[in-house]
Amino acid sequence: MLSLVLHWIHLLSVVLWIGGVGYILFVLLGNMRFISLRDRARFVPRILKRFLVIVWLSIAAIIISGLYRVIFVMHITSVEQLIFTRYGNILGLKIILVVALITVALRITTKVYNRTVHHVAKHVDDEPNSYTCAECGSIVGSIRNHLEVGFLLSVVIIFLAAMLRGA
């Protein structure tokens, strides 16, 4: 039963994280040009902060549930099992890509978030009909680039997970 619950938590965490990335990338960023700078100043910091909390809680849940599954369900307890088996090779590649994905999340959290919040604060008192800002465009581009990398990594990771399940 514990294995089932942890697997469910693992999948739910992946869905929340990657679903959030997809929503921001494909829905929110594409519509930023329709949101006034003043509204962005109030809206964007809240959205990003809440999203990053979900991301880091998801990462923690994914790591804990993933380690449990690897050690106690799949009984992979040595490096040799990762290196000398097909399952281990796929799992090792998946782990490397997850670390890369976490690195993208860390960069967004430590660099992109701070730059974004600092900049949009300048627009709190802008006119309600002001919609364009070169720096905002640059920030949206940076967020888009990071999320595209994260989304592509996620697509490959999910494919590898399907391979591990024998699909």
Q: Could you say which residues of the chain have pLDDT below 50? A: none
pLDDT tens-digit profile of 96-145? Answer: 999 999 999 999 999 999 999 999 999 999 999 999 999 999 999 999 99
Q: Give how many domains the chain has, as a whole number.
A: 1
Q: CA dihedral in degrees (154, 159, 165, 167; nearest 10)?
A: 150
Residues 6+ apart with CB under 8 A from 131: 33, 34, 35, 36, 37
Beta carbons within 10 angstroms of residue 74's beta carbon = 14
Closest CA relative to residue 91, chosen from 77, 103, 104:
77
Distance, CA of 5 to chain centre: 22
* Structural domain harbouring 37: 2-164
Closest CA relative to residue 114, chosen from 17, 45, 50:
45
pLDDT of res. 2: 94
Taking the model in full, what pTM does it have? 0.93
